[in-house]
Amino acid sequence: MKKRLFSGIQPSGDVHIGNYLGAIKNWIALLNDYDCIFSIVDYHAITVEYDPGLMQKRILNAAAVNIGAGLDPDRCILFVQSQVPEHTELTWILNSLTPMGLLERMTQYKDKAKQNEKNVNVGLFDYPVLQTADILLYKGCAVPIGEDQLQHVELSREIARKFNMRYGELFPEPQHLLSDAPRIMGLDGKSKMSKSMDNYISLIEDPDTIWKKLSRATTDENRKRRNDPGNPEICNLFTLHKYFSNETEIAKVNKECRTAEIGCIECKRILSDNMVKALAPIREKSLALMNKPDDVLDVLNTGAKKCRKIAEETMEEVRSLMGLRLVKV
Ligand code: TYM
């Protein structure tokens, strides 16, 4: 039997190349080796202010883009978190095992609390416990993620251990899997590429916008004039070349940037052309799926049905180990 793998993505904005290179591409590569479950985690996306009128579309688009990128729903389960109520039920139970101090240490919470000073709610604080419940509900062993989620997966191991020690062995300790691009920086070159910041290229970006965004992107800041030699090793766009250009092009850009034979504009042009080419099939398939929402809904409903069955079974085991619900007197 294959090991179970779980991961998720928030429907909080456009799915971007950071999500793709850091997570989704790896999810697709792992489809054969694991019994895979992927979730559009809408409960996670409500911990910051959002427009409820846009949520349905965001969920649908996130699902469409994941499938469009190659997450074949015939080879995995894809579902929406809020279609399986056990996620929140298990969260409450795990809350009672999680020390406040552990959550206070979470760097993503600290960052988000700073960004959302007027709305530092309990959900934002408790977010890593919900993430732990997501994984443990399906007894997930492997969790492919970007680097920003490492601390959360570590926490899920601690919570699983605590549960097993207190109530009896039930949950595997989930192990993280990182891709070869665990942290893609934003186009500003300063912060992580993120859905909530205007520093990303979406997976369905049109060719003109890709060029516009890249042409404004930060490069090696020490290179002030066209004729100054550049330093690819500190240039964020050179990093992106590594994922979109072929070896000959990468070697050429590396050499000709250092000798100032090419300037940043030429380098960006090569990257833009390659990115447009690489994203074209994803864009085409995703847009086609967005125009067929019923097909996407079918995939998600089928996924949710399978997940509810697994989740119900796990919760029965959890309640039984914990002595919850009056079964017989
Ligand atoms: P989210 O929606 O922020 O991101 C989805 C996945 O993309 C990765 N990622 C990146 N990787 C590399 N470079 C980047 N700039 C970049 N930005 C995002 C993330 O690490 C993630 O793997 N809390 C999670 C979703 C979640 C989850 C889970 C994940 C909920 N429950 C259970 C694993 C298991 C999140 O907000 O991901």
Please return the burial class of 315, using the count of CB atoms within 10 Å of its CB with bins 0-12, 13-18 and 19+.
Answer: middle
For atom 22 of ligand 1, the residue with the nearest CA is 145
243 CA to centre of own chain: 18
C-alpha–C-alpha distance, residues 158 and 145, integer Å: 18
CA 294 – ligand 1 centroid, Å: 26
Cα separation, 230 vs 201, in Å, equals: 24
Q: What is the three-state SS of 31-99?
A: CCCCEEEEEECHHHHCCCCCCHHHHHHHHHHHHHHHHHHCCCCCCCEEEEHHHCCHHHHHHHHHHCCCC
Q: Using CA positions, which residue lies closest to atom 5 of ligand 1?
A: 9
Q: What is the CATH number of domain 207-286?
A: 1.10.240.10
State pLDDT tens for residues 120-131: 999 999 999 999
Q: How confident is the model at residue 328 (pLDDT cuts 50, 70, 90)?
A: confident
Residues 300, 307: Cα–Cα separation, whole Å? 10
Taking only the tens place, the pLDDT of each residue in 217-264 is 999 999 999 999 999 999 999 999 999 999 999 999 999 999 999 999
Q: Is 195 a catalytic residue?
A: yes
pLDDT at position 329 over 80: no
Q: Which CATH number fits domain 4-185+294-322: 3.30.565.10, 3.30.428.10, 3.40.50.620, 3.30.413.10?
A: 3.40.50.620
Pocket-testing residue among 41, 151, 192, ligand 1, by greatest number of atoms within 8 A of Cβ: 41
Task: Write the pLDDT tens digit of every residue in 164-222.
Answer: 999 999 999 999 999 999 999 999 999 999 988 999 999 999 999 999 999 999 999 99
Distance CA(109)–CA(82), nearest Å, equals 22
pLDDT at 116 over 90: no
Element holding 4 (H helix, E strand): strand 4-9
- The sign one gets for the Cα dihedral 310, 313, 319, 325 is positive
In this structure, the residue with its CA closest to atom 34 of ligand 1 is 7
Question: Would you list the domain boundaries of the chain?
Answer: 4-185+294-322, 207-286
pTM, to two decimals:
0.97
